[in-house]
């Protein structure tokens, strides 16, 4: 059942995936310098200071390639290594992560439900680009009705930076983890399977580094939802399985106090980490919930931009 379901997911992904490059309608190159600067800043401020001397040296030797999109089937959460010593982080991914971070943060600051974000991903996943004007999918800020001046609210700007920074850090560190550590065949035998074991190793490496940072990994859930709802195809994908998500949640639960160390309010930070672990467990449950998946897909097929207007959590619009 599970295998059949995943096969169905991949099949439908192949149907629309190539169209996701239409999200920014060929305008990604115009922003290349800004995106490169953002990525460099994340590396300088949120990654390098938390690596050991040896790791920092190895990381500084990596080349971060930013093609506009990844051929042949661009996905807004693509990241991978095209060759040893390289990490590929397409501009499409950087742009999408940045916009999603801003959308989440604006909705959060305005007490609006983040459910519309999941519905937006459902729309991208289950409707073809030809359903939309100019045969192009609407980008997150447009689809989710986020005002143009969203970042003028300091709380939104601060949260956006945190979500964006922690998402990009996790992506880069996970990929660095893949380059640096591989599961040995003996370890793989003891674990479930090698691909899954490699993913768990890369996740644990990324989280271990992020634990030393003073930021709660606020972007992690956004990335997990994104990769779960918009899976990319091999070899660019980092397959999300229940075991992988459970391992991530366990890691956060067991080390919640360590994550909270050095934060202004350790008690609240511990609660935030445990809550994140709980949400990751819910995502793991969703992976096994075929009925829930079918309902979500059905809703996605019916969702249009007008349905994605912000919904106040108290029920007001
Ligand atoms: Zn991976």
Separation of 196 CA from ligand 1 center, angstroms? 9
pLDDT of residue 124: 95
Q: What is the 127 CA–ligand 1 centroid distance (Å)? A: 27
Q: What is the pLDDT of residue 279?
A: 96
Indicate the angle between helix axes 91-109 and 115-126, nearest 10 degrees: 150
Q: Which helix (H) or strand (E) holds 18?
A: none
Q: Determine the Cα–Cα distance for residues 99 and 141; give it in Å rounded to an integer.
A: 6
Q: CA-CA distance, 300 to 312, in Å (whole number)? A: 21
For residues 240 and 287, the answer to whether their CB atoms sit within 8 Å is yes
Question: Whose CA is closest to 139, among 90, 103, 113, 115?
Answer: 103
CB 262 within 8 A of CB 216: no
| 147 Cβ neighbours under 8 A, 6+ residues apart | 106
- Give dist(CA 311, CA 317) in Å, integer: 5
Question: Tens digit of pLDDT for each residue in 174-225?
Answer: 999 998 876 566 666 666 678 888 999 999 999 999 999 878 898 999 999 9
Q: What is the pLDDT of residue 1?
A: 40
H or E element in which residue 207 lies = helix 194-210
The Cβ-side half-sphere exposure at 314, using a 13 Å CA radius, reads 3
Kindly give the distance from the C-alpha atom of residue 286 to the centroid of ligand 1, in angstroms, as a whole number: 20
Total Cβ atoms within 10 A of residue 153: 16
What is the 303 CA–ligand 1 centroid distance (Å)? 31
Which residues on neighbouring strands pair with residue 63, listed in sequence order? 86
Helices assigned H by DSSP within the chain: 2-16, 32-42, 53-61, 91-109, 115-126, 140-143, 154-180, 185-190, 194-210, 220-229, 242-254, 256-260, 266-288, 290-302
Expressed in angstroms and rounded, the spacing between residue 233 Cα and the centre of ligand 1 is 12
Q: How far apart, in Å, are the Cα atoms of 188 and each of 2, 47, 183, 245, 278?
A: 21, 28, 6, 18, 27
CA angle in degrees (0–180, nearest 5) for 140-107-127? 30
Q: What is the pLDDT of residue 25?
A: 81
Task: Note the pTM of the prediction, 2 decimals.
Answer: 0.91
Which segments of the chain have a pLDDT < 70? 1-18, 182-192, 315-317
pLDDT of residue 116: 96
How far does the centroid of ligand 1 lie from the alpha carbon of residue 82, in Å? 13
User: 234 alpha carbon to ligand 1 midpoint, in Å?
Assistant: 11
* Cα-to-centroid distance, 194 and ligand 1 (Å): 12
- The number of residues making up the chain comes to 317
For 9, counting Cβ atoms within 10 Å of its Cβ (0-12 exposed, 13-18 middle, 19+ buried), the class is middle
* pLDDT given for residue 183 in this prediction: 59
Provide the pLDDT for residue 190.
63
């Amino acid at each position: 059942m599970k295998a059949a379901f995943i096969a169905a997911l991949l099949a439908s992904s192949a149907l629309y995936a190539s169209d996701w490059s239409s999200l920014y309608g060929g305008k990604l190159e115009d922003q290349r310098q800004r995106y490169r600067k953002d990525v460099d800043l994340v590396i300088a401020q949120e990654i390098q200071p938390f690596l050991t001397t040896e790791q920092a040296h190895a990381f500084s030797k990596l080349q971060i390639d930013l093609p506009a999109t990844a051929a042949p089937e661009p996905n807004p959460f693509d990241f991978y290594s095209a060759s040893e010593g390289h990490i590929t982080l397409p501009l499409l991914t950087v742009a999408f992560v940045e916009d999603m971070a801003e959308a989440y943060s604006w909705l959060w600051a305005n007490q609006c439900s983040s459910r519309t974000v999941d519905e937006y991903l459902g729309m991208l996943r289950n409707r073809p680009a030809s359903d939309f004007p100019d045969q192009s999918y609407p980008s997150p800020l447009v689809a989710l009705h986020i005002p143009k001046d969203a970042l003028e609210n300091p709380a939104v700007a601060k949260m956006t930076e945190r979500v964006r920074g922690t998402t990009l850090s996790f992506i880069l560190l996970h990929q660095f983890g893949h380059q640096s550590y591989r599961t040995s065949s003996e370890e793989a035998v003891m674990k479930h399977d090698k691909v899954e074991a490699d993913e768990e190793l890369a996740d644990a490496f990324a989280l271990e580094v992020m634990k030393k940072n003073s930021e709660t990994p606020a972007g992690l859930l956004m990335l997990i939802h994104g990769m779960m709802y918009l899976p990319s195809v091999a070899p660019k994908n980092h397959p999300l399985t229940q075991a992988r998500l459970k391992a991530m949640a366990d890691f956060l639960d067991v080390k919640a106090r360590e994550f909270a160390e050095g934060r202004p309010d350790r008690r609240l930070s511990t609660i935030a980490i445990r809550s994140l672990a709980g949400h990751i467990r819910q995502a793991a449950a969703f992976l096994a919930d075929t009925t829930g998946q079918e309902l979500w897909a059905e809703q996605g097929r019916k969702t249009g931009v007008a349905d994605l207007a912000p919904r106040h959590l108290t029920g007001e619009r």
